[in-house]
Structure 1
Amino acid sequence: MQMYPELKEWRVFEGRLQVLVSWVTIAAMGSYFVFYTLAPWAYDVGPAILLLMALVALVFGWPRLRANLDGESQLMIATFLGYFLLQVSVLTMHGEDLSEFDLSTRYLGAAIVLASLLMVPVRAKPFFFAVGVGGAVTGGLALYWWGLEGPGRLQSFDNPIHYGNGALALSCLSLAGLSWASRQRYRALWSALFLCGLTGGLVASFLSGTRSGWVAIPLLVPVILFAYRDRILDKKWLIPVILAAVGLLVIAMVTVDVVRERSIIAAQQVEQYFEDGANYTSVGLRLDMYKAGLAAFSENPLVGIGPSGMEGKVDAMARAGEIHQNVAHYRHLHNQYIDNMARYGLVGLLSYLALLLVPFFLFLSKARHGLSSVRAIGLAGALFVVLHGVVNLTQSMLERNIGVMMYLFVLVFVWAVLKAEEREDQAASDAPVV
């Protein structure tokens, strides 16, 4: 059957448009991961461009979106939307100023971008390449800055906490990349890149002196063992290799001056707080923040007392001498779980737990997938969520724009790439055998 010229031209245009969208998406994703710890624009420019494209795609590409929106993706998107709606509802209930709604909109934006990216075939290769380069560049610059500045906590555009934990996140993703590389052509080159990314992220994390992420490292091992237990049991020589690697990592952490000194200081400050009431130290201030947060939660356990109410509670307790007066200078409580409880009550705590657990179990289920690329990407997502969940025991990452964007768009990109790999595998299976 002869195709009308207009229809033929439209299909050519549509094909070129899809290629352009794919390249823009790859560029946005690549810049996000390469500059993950190094430049603030990485969190705004790429996601903003993708959001604009997503709004157009959802209007004109709804039928195609429905075809790609499987049950698992619907659950991921519903989790983002649920967190957005619950926060907006509670903030409205407390009569908060419009500025308090700003961070909540990021969850709505992430849901929209994820829905549109399910229509874009962004594969594992550019994703893992960006992750490896990001970790390697971060580590190289960390060593360069350390050589220039000497001893002290390293940081980039923000504070050492976001820098160190961001670098550790790149290490986790690069570690998953090593698994992916084992099944690729030129696997030696890919493995070298991911080893540089893994090492670079660890080096930057250690030199930042950020303790919160280090606690997560032992908890990552069971996730890796769960994902690859079949390979480990088949190749028993891997067991001593893994144990040796963990041992070397522990030794490295102990021998790095910044790590050793800050770990000792943390233990001393905890002891001083409970024995002498020393609440002026870094750890002491955090413990006073937790005290204030739990006091706020007890006033309204269901929906909390809102951000403004939390500020008032902290000020009142500081004036009364119940907590150190410097606590009033902080914008959040340095514990996301307690922060959500104080601001949004049990509703806020449960919604945050859903924001952690739903992606974690979705990724963990994919970490046992039969396709090696999907398994590696699932492992990457699961490791990242574990890291974020542990870090937020001593941080409130979701109370700042950078923290929200660091978490949400890693989930968005990892899930979109994972689903693209699944679709490609399914298409290959359904193709007729010639």
Structure 2
Amino acid sequence: MVNESKLFQSFWWWLLLGLLACAPGSTKLAGAGWLVLALVGLYRFARFFPIWWTQRAADPLTRAASVWLAFVLAAFLFKAIGVTYWDDPWKTRHFDLRMLLSAVAIFALASRVTLTREKLFGLGVAMALAAAVGMSVSYLHVNFDMDTPSNRINWAGGQVMLSWVLLSVALDKDNSRLLRRLALAGFACFWLAVLMSGARSAYLSIPWVGVVILVLTLTRVERERRWKWVASVVLGIPLLVAAVATVAPSVVEVPAGRIEIAVEEARAALADKDDPARNVDTPVGARIYMWQKGMEKFMQSPWIGYGREQRIAFIKAWGEESDAHIISDQFHLHSEYINGMVDHGLVGLASTVAYMAGLVVVAFMLRRTHPLMALALAGIAFTHITMSVTNANSQTNNYSVIFGWSLMTLFLFRSGALRREPVAASQ
């Protein structure tokens, strides 16, 4: 293992940390930070790839990064088939291009970079500050009606992904107590930001918090044979929710209100066509209507779909047919799966699912050697899988940037934390 901490000398390292800390507050700063890290990784990848590829089997992290790169490359190639066949514009495929660059950078970083404890601590502080920035953005959004830096759905999804990274840092007993506390505080701030954002798709990740609590509880009981911790969890969670609802009522009121509205809109959209209460001109109603119509179109052309231009034409026609202005204003089908199937059929679906399958496979590979990293990767996978049901986040710029940030920072934390090669920060 060759230490490449020289890649992160003073100026560039502080620049990266500053951009990461500001990422939830500005899409431009988030994009700039992602680009710097991706280009550094791309440069190292191009220079040392032959050596790394022959040595990848020796190191679990490098092997996992190579598998992730293979899945992302497969997703990109599947997408290229559909784009080429229908002559879709490549400029609309920024998600796939960014994910490919991120995967290349991750392979390079996992193979060549070992951060010192000082730099790991700095990275943790930057992410905790990012969480505070994210919480501030959501507070201003809910109390002063200020817009989030990008669409609040994909923005909130990015905050959830970053939270899983910090959770893995908080649970790592090899980290300092201060770093673990900062990471735990950052995890909480990210989730406060998500809950206040009103982004219902991001709320779909809440069950994974329950899964994490359950896994940690069972692990603790198995190791210590003590049930007192279970009682603490069972009693502590309701008390924590009650305390948060008292101190910051919007954290509970916003999600509760948004979910109630979604249920009402779904009922109206699913009513019989002759029912006067039927209404698809709502966010949830428009989704349900487009999903139904999209699946009908997919069944008529399942192999290669219709292409981007025809998909948009379908949406406009459905808007007129249903007299729903909210549908007419859309350009995608608000489902990653159905959008991919209508665009490029089963080939498009294969591209969509490849990213999800890659995350799941890599998490499974690392479950024994890097269990906390596997837990974080599984969380990121769960978030991407569930959010893709009700949204087409690949159609936005910010989502792929924060997606990439999450994976790259996770690999940086693990590469430094588990290799423990104490090299002076100035080297």
Give secondary structure in 1 for the equivalent of 2:349.
helix
What's 1:58 paired with?
45
* Greater relative contact order (Cα < 8 A, sep 6+): 2
Match of 1:86, as an amino acid? Answer: F
TM-score by length of 2: 0.82
Q: Partners in 1 of 2:382 and 2:115 — Cα distance?
A: 25
What's 1:222 paired with?
211
**After the TM superposition, which residues 131-142 of structure 1 pair with which residues of structure 2 at under 5 Å, given as runs?**
131-140=127-136, 142=138
Deviation at 1:214, TM superposition (A): 1.5
Closer/same/farther in 2, CA of residues 102 and 172 from structure 1, 3 Å limit: closer
Q: Is the 8 A contact 2:283 2:326 kept in 1?
A: no
Which 10-residue stretch deviates more, 353-362 or 99-108?
99-108
**After the TM superposition, which residues 2-401 of structure 1 pair with which residues of structure 2 at under 5 Å, given as runs?**
18-23=4-9, 26-27=13-14, 30-31=17-18, 33-66=20-53, 68-70=55-57, 71-117=63-109, 118-122=111-115, 125-140=121-136, 142-143=138-139, 145=140, 150=143, 155-180=147-172, 182-185=173-176, 187=177, 189-223=178-212, 225-226=214-215, 229-235=218-224, 236-248=227-239, 256-275=252-271, 276-319=277-320, 321-322=321-322, 324-369=324-369, 374-401=370-397
Deviation at 1:306, TM superposition (A): 1.6
Q: Is the 8 A contact 2:72 2:358 kept in 1?
A: no
Q: Partners in 2 of 1:233 and 1:68 — Cα distance?
A: 37
Q: Is the 8 A contact 1:337 1:349 kept in 2?
A: yes
Match of 1:415, as an amino acid? Answer: F
Which 10-residue stretch deviates more, 327-336 or 45-54?
45-54
How many residue pairs get aligned? The number is 399
Closer/same/farther in 2, CA of residues 134 and 367 from structure 1, 3 Å limit: farther
Closer/same/farther in 2, CA of residues 140 and 281 from structure 1, 3 Å limit: closer
Deviation at 1:94, TM superposition (A): 1.1
**Structure 2, gaps ≥5 residues long:** 58-62, 272-276, 423-427
Which 10-residue stretch deviates more, 206-215 or 86-95?
206-215
Which 10-residue stretch deviates more, 88-97 or 346-355?
346-355
Deviation sequence 1:143-197 (CA, Å, 0-9, x none) = 4x26xx7375x643122223333333333333322212x3433x1x234312321
Q: Partners in 1 of 2:217 and 2:333 — Cα distance?
A: 37
Give secondary structure in 2 for the equivalent of 1:194.
helix
Closer/same/farther in 2, CA of residues 228 and 158 from structure 1, 3 Å limit: same
Q: Partners in 1 of 2:157 and 2:100 — Cα distance?
A: 25
Deviation at 1:289, TM superposition (A): 2.2
Which 10-residue stretch deviates more, 264-273 or 294-303?
294-303
Q: Percent identity?
A: 20
Q: Partners in 1 of 2:70 and 2:413 — Cα distance?
A: 19
What's 2:425 paired with?
none
Q: Is the 8 A contact 1:25 1:122 kept in 2?
A: no
Closer/same/farther in 2, CA of residues 38 and 322 from structure 1, 3 Å limit: same
Q: Is the 8 A contact 1:84 1:108 kept in 2?
A: yes
Match of 2:6, as an amino acid? Answer: L
Give secondary structure in 1 for the equivalent of 2:196.
helix
Closer/same/farther in 2, CA of residues 119 and 67 from structure 1, 3 Å limit: farther
Match of 1:137, as an amino acid? Answer: V
Deviation sequence 1:214-235 (CA, Å, 0-9, x none) = 1221234335544774334224
Deviation at 1:300, TM superposition (A): 1.5
Give secondary structure in 2 for the equivalent of 1:36.
helix
Closer/same/farther in 2, CA of residues 310 and 245 from structure 1, 3 Å limit: farther
Q: Is the 8 A contact 1:134 1:170 kept in 2?
A: no
What is the RMSD computed on CA atoms of the aligned residues? 3.1
Closer/same/farther in 2, CA of residues 46 and 28 from structure 1, 3 Å limit: farther
Q: Partners in 2 of 1:279 and 1:104 — Cα distance?
A: 31
Closer/same/farther in 2, CA of residues 140 and 97 from structure 1, 3 Å limit: closer
Q: Is the 8 A contact 2:204 2:386 kept in 1?
A: yes
Deviation at 1:66, TM superposition (A): 2.8
Deviation at 1:140, TM superposition (A): 4.3
Give secondary structure in 2 for the equivalent of 1:393.
helix
Q: Partners in 2 of 1:411 and 1:53 — Cα distance?
A: 15
Deviation sequence 1:220-261 (CA, Å, 0-9, x none) = 433554477433422433323333454456655796221221
Q: Partners in 1 of 2:302 and 2:82 — Cα distance?
A: 13
TM-score by length of 1: 0.81
Which 10-residue stretch deviates more, 164-173 or 193-202?
164-173
Deviation at 1:21, TM superposition (A): 0.8
Q: Is the 8 A contact 1:88 1:104 kept in 2?
A: no
